[in-house]
Structure 1
């Protein structure tokens, strides 16, 4: 670290990774290589193999063998818990390394990456207890001649496809719960942010996870991702990404083996602010809700639904917050908003800003590409005079762009909040608990925050309504998601003959 600037140093050369199958790292060899440049610095930081479909088949075969011979699913809950608990401890030991590569590849601020890694250790530690508490049910009401059991069994081999915005966090919202259920895994991270997924695979092996239970195959979504979705020996697939790609996942799964799906997709999430809220707290929360991870977050609060009587004053508070937020080098510990992760996403965000202006929205502040000499950065952007027909009000931008939409009544606020194809997350800011609970009940979203946003831990489930996805991750619900239910009927005593 450069002590004078409170900034971590860039690597002298890119770190080379192989892929991970059957408990071992497989070198790049003669495979093509994807070289990743840091989006905050424009320097090469990692080199990752572009795996082939044969590599994927090898990984799925390893996961299949590990599941079928019960080297993991056949262990008791205490044994599984011990591995998960040890994994959490090893994540904490290597937290600085993981956060560093998360920041290098993604462009998020190092302080945020560190907090995420600590939260990921929590996920494993919490899931260790769930491995011991997963259970079924019994029915002792079937009469003297019958006893019934309902058991939960692991679904089998699970494929995981994760995006580039939270490479480690989204992975760890799934892996410990999948393993707690007794399943085995083949993971396919985004090709631009693969490093921390590969590090986790190494950690799991060191923690005692049997070989073949966690495999990582790197490459593009169009080749390796598609092949994983369609693979006939994968029993369930967890996909996190856009709703548009989610539709293609559903279609592909239907064409092959009707594998079970868990989908966390897009969002156009409302932050509803009433005049009776603590407006200083609300302004800070709203700014955080759109600025966190540079707005590249499926649960970002990108629609500011604010009571008209305070709309102008509240917009000024947001503008003041945006003016003071620290945008810049992700490796600087003072940075709050980092770099845009990919060139394509940078272009997408800027195109939406232009579209907002063209459609008649008022650009209150931001909307500019920021020049720090290297890297790609966009200033936090606030639009007013936004109507529900505009693209910036309806479509997921996935960047630091906030649209103000005023309302005059509680009913109108709820209507605006629900006027979307999505239903991933929402926040409400008010000191009236009756109002808060009514809004919480009537706004359709899988996650809801009252007088806060983007908070939570491993105990509560994650997931969406409507076109924001299927299923739930994390918590006991997240373990049960990766199980299937079996009914067992046990006859007691002598059978009544069917044939005399």
Structure 2
């Protein structure tokens, strides 16, 4: 079987995974396991270990020992950079394998998985540069008797809790930044989509990362995730997921006042003005809705359109959505993937029914589609939505779009900002003054103008309000995982206080 054929079809046997501590693989050894059925095919593809708190304690101890030995925290930025670059090359060399397993476990289209794996390699390449440029400050303004220095030091042991919807790219938006600044890490991927995070362990080890610096403990959120947030020997926790769970993580992290970085939920507006390129905007709205089947924290799920073009724009969006290719997740032409679980599928369709009850019109979609034995939801547009409806305020996390209208710039901003969330927003207009005005006024940590869900590793990401705290990515993403130390150095003989 050649390389291409090996990753072209659902495997006949289930792949078994242990967990990874201190540079070695650990067997399941009598622990409970979770069998993962592929959302796109309805067939079992992987089995992961459900680790215990004792396993987490062992992983944290290994990470702490590695940090104290300074095998990573104590080496130079150029040495860290060399390892991160080797990791990037190894990821690119294994892109087909990693993308294949990402698609099997998440249900996203293979084309999206490939793009995400390649983007992940880009984060490691970017952080190789950051590892060498991380610096502090000097203060030569204290006079002849004093010199000031500000240093940035690795925070220590980081607990990283990642979601099921973007296992590898979310890992890459955090892990290389954690490593660039010299920390050790214990990762808990979602129990539903653990494969690529575990596969990354071999890549890191083969690339020269010292044992104990990267550890993976698989398991459930209530068992392992909660234990990470509470653990007194973890110095910082990074969590990506729902706002409700993020609140619990933040409360638990107070056990030892650990630092926390949280990227949480969103109910993100797509603001479309009459002077926009409506064809481009409709295409962007369709992409923003269907990307990862709407199971995306920055999904553009609220469509806020200027009233004078609302009907025309609604027709353009419906036309775009009718052409979205839904089907076999391993087909490169497929654009809309599967829904992660039966429970989540029911939740999405329940919101569609709720929208009807609240008075919204289902313009298109709103039903389940069966393809290749998997579970899919057709892209759905709800019109006649008011911003006080639950479907407009709560995160549906599926391909369901809520249409509202406005007449003025002020009203557009009022609707966009009338939300407990502030994660992302997209603005569509060809008027640069208007674009800048709305960009400044919208409450969103990531804002796009005439595009959506775009960008690279150089800029930070994070949210306002209940969409999180802290920033990942970019230079700020490296600094997020450091502690700042302010040093004052006396020069010469001290002037006596006691005479």
Q: Which residue of 1 aligns with 2:280?
A: 281
CA distance in 2, matches of 1:182, 1:373: 45
Q: Which residue of 2 aligns with 1:216?
A: 216
Query: Does the 8 Å contact 1:329/1:339 carry over to 2?
Result: no
Q: Is it true that 1:377 corresponds to 2:400 in the alignment?
A: no
Q: Which residue of 2 aligns with 1:86?
A: 86
Quote how far apart the aligned CAs of 1:374 are.
Answer: 1.3
CA distance in 2, matches of 1:343, 1:460: 36
Deviations 1:162-221 (A, max 9, x none): 010000010110000000010100000000000000011111111100000000000000
Deviations 1:224-247 (A, max 9, x none): 111111010000000001111111
Q: Is it true that 1:337 corresponds to 2:369 in the alignment?
A: no
CA distance in 1, matches of 2:256, 2:342: 36
Q: Which residue of 2 aligns with 1:131?
A: 131
Query: Does the 8 Å contact 2:85/2:128 carry over to 1?
Result: yes
**Secondary structure class of the residue paired with 2:371:** coil
Query: Does the 8 Å contact 1:84/1:176 carry over to 2?
Result: yes
Q: Which residue of 2 aligns with 1:441?
A: 440
CA distance in 1, matches of 2:27, 2:208: 22
Listed as ranges, the matches of 1:79-228 within 5 Å are 79-228=79-228
CA distance in 2, matches of 1:442, 1:21: 47
Q: Which residue of 1 aligns with 2:238?
A: 238
Quote how far apart the aligned CAs of 1:24 are.
Answer: 1.3
CA distance in 2, matches of 1:262, 1:177: 13
CA distance in 1, matches of 2:283, 2:25: 44
Q: Which residue of 1 aligns with 2:409?
A: 410
Deviations 1:51-95 (A, max 9, x none): 111111100000011111211110000001001111000000111
Q: Which residue of 2 aligns with 1:52?
A: 52
CA distance in 2, matches of 1:253, 1:133: 30
Quote how far apart the aligned CAs of 1:8 are.
Answer: 2.2
Deviations 1:260-299 (A, max 9, x none): 0000000000000001000000000000001000000000
Query: Does the 8 Å contact 2:327/2:372 carry over to 1?
Result: no
Q: Is it true that 1:267 corresponds to 2:266 in the alignment?
A: yes
Q: Which residue of 2 aligns with 1:13?
A: 13
Quote how far apart the aligned CAs of 1:373 are.
Answer: 5.4
- The normalised TM-score by structure 2 is 0.98
Listed as ranges, the matches of 1:308-387 within 5 Å are 308-372=307-371, 374-387=373-386
CA distance in 1, matches of 2:489, 2:456: 40
Deviations 1:444-464 (A, max 9, x none): 100010000000000000100
CA distance in 1, matches of 2:19, 2:343: 25
Q: Which residue of 1 aligns with 2:229?
A: 229
Query: Does the 8 Å contact 2:328/2:372 carry over to 1?
Result: no
CA distance in 2, matches of 1:288, 1:260: 35
Q: Is it true that 1:301 corresponds to 2:304 in the alignment?
A: no
Q: Which residue of 2 aligns with 1:41?
A: 41
Quote how far apart the aligned CAs of 1:371 are.
Answer: 2.0
Query: Does the 8 Å contact 2:240/2:264 carry over to 1?
Result: yes
CA distance in 1, matches of 2:382, 2:32: 44
1:373 to 1:154, Cα distance in 2 relative to 1, 3 A: closer
**Secondary structure class of the residue paired with 1:371:** strand
Quote how far apart the aligned CAs of 1:14 are.
Answer: 1.1
Q: Which residue of 1 aligns with 2:481?
A: 482
CA distance in 1, matches of 2:315, 2:466: 33
Quote how far apart the aligned CAs of 1:413 are.
Answer: 0.4
Quote how far apart the aligned CAs of 1:372 are.
Answer: 2.2
**Secondary structure class of the residue paired with 1:376:** strand
Q: Which runs of 4+ in 1 moved over 2 A?
A: none
CA distance in 1, matches of 2:193, 2:107: 10
CA distance in 2, matches of 1:66, 1:329: 44
Deviations 1:357-381 (A, max 9, x none): 1110011000000122511100000
Q: Is it true that 1:459 corresponds to 2:454 in the alignment?
A: no
**Secondary structure class of the residue paired with 2:421:** coil
Quote how far apart the aligned CAs of 1:101 are.
Answer: 0.3
Quote how far apart the aligned CAs of 1:431 are.
Answer: 0.4
Q: Which residue of 2 aligns with 1:64?
A: 64
Listed as ranges, the matches of 1:415-434 within 5 Å are 415-434=414-433
Name stretches of at least 5 consecutive residues in structure 2 with no aligned partner. none
CA distance in 2, matches of 1:56, 1:372: 39
Query: Does the 8 Å contact 1:241/1:266 carry over to 2?
Result: yes
- The normalised TM-score by structure 1 is 0.98
Query: Does the 8 Å contact 1:238/1:262 carry over to 2?
Result: yes
Deviations 1:14-43 (A, max 9, x none): 111110000111121221111111011111
Deviations 1:456-484 (A, max 9, x none): 00000010011100000011100000001
CA distance in 1, matches of 2:55, 2:390: 41
Deviates more, 1:156-165 or 1:325-334: 325-334
CA distance in 1, matches of 2:312, 2:189: 43
CA distance in 2, matches of 1:87, 1:477: 22
CA distance in 2, matches of 1:353, 1:156: 45
